[in-house]
Every structure is written in structure tokens, then in C-alpha cells.
Amino acid sequence: MQTATKKYTREEYLALEEMSNEKHEFYQGEIFAMVGGTFRHSAIGLNITTALKIKLRGKSCQPTNSDMCVGTPSGLLTYPDASVFCGKLELSDNQRVLLNPVMIVEVLSPSTRHYDRGDKFTLYRSILTFCDYLLVDSEKVYIEHFRKIENNEWILHEYTDLSEKIYFNSINESLELKEIYENIEL
């Protein structure tokens, strides 16, 4: 006989999250603890957010860091390593959940890489404004950039050379791999 798992409402999750010292993901009534990252994971996320902040200064797009929860129409509430919205900011739940990211960045860890590439990407794709998905490996120089084209089709570009640049249509800007991996020992 299986033990019943308690299901939470979105409101219960948000109330618990507001009081928690840790971040949790929410999906279909279940709450999942988010594991803390390594130094490399944190430093790569900071490099990306900082570079985006500088490049987008004075423009209509703005980056957020891993403290900003992103919500999907499919019901996922999670904290990507970075996200960018453009134009009018759309928030819900007392300004705690971003609804209109155009770009989402996940720094991959061994324990999350399959989820970030698979089910999480599927849930992110339910966000109508979402156009660029960046998956950054924290153990080697390897980046996957998924870019949405017409009819909800996605194209994958892979990058492995620090001299390469990644262009993002959604924000009309690019990042160099050497910016992303600056001061990171792999």
C-alpha cells in the first residue's frame, strides 16, 4: 500500500516559500527542494546575469537572477539561474512570480541536467513570450542554445569554444563564451 502524498495549492506553496530560507519548485501540487549549486554553478550564473545587465542597460529588456521565480501557464513555479523579460513587466502573486520571460538560463549540474533539458524545457515552452533557452554546463565548456522559430519550432546550436559568441534574437544582444566562463576553472 502506498502512502498518500500531501498535495498543496499554489497559495499554500507561496505562503510556505515566503517563510522558507530555501528555494523550492512547485508543480501539480507537489513541492520539491532545490539543491544548492557549486561555486562554479554560482559564478557562471553571476557572470551571465552581470554581462546581461551591462549589455541591456538603457534598453527595454532587463535580466533577473535566481531569486526571481518564473511561473508557466502549465503550472510550474521555479527559480532559473537567470531570466530576461522585455517591455512591460508581468508579475503575479504579490510581485513574486515573473510571467513573461523571453529568455531563460539554466546552469547545469549533474543532478539537474536531464530535467533541465527535458521536462523542465517542455514546461517552459508553455510561456508564450519565451524564445531563447540557454543551458550552460558547469563542468566543461559546453553550451546549448535553443532558439524558437516560427510555429513553436526550436533550433539547437551547441558551443564549445571560448572564442564563440551566442546571439539572442529575443534581446538583440550576444554573449561571448569567455564572458560566461570568466574566471572559472574547469
Indicate left, alpha or beta for 143 from its phi (over 0: left) and psi (-120 to 50: alpha): beta
**Residue whose C-alpha is closest to residue 77's, from 23, 152, 148:** 23
Per-residue pLDDT of the chain (186 residues; tens, 9 = 90+): 455 578 999 999 999 999 998 899 999 999 998 877 889 999 999 999 999 999 999 999 999 999 999 999 999 999 999 999 999 999 999 999 999 999 999 999 888 899 999 999 999 999 999 999 999 999 999 999 999 998 889 999 999 999 999 999 999 999 999 999 999 998
pLDDT of residue 6: 85
Tell me the pairing of strands 82-86 and 30-33.
unpaired
The predicted structure's pLDDT at residue 96: 94
The SS3 call for residue 20 is: coil
C-alpha cell at 76: 510550474
Sorted by sequence, the CB contacts under 8 Å of residue 74 that are 6+ apart come out as: 123, 126
Third-level CATH fold of 37-180:
tt1808, chain A (3.90.1570)
pLDDT at 2: 55
d(Cα 152, Cα 135) in Å, to the nearest integer?
Answer: 19
**Domain boundaries in the chain?**
37-180
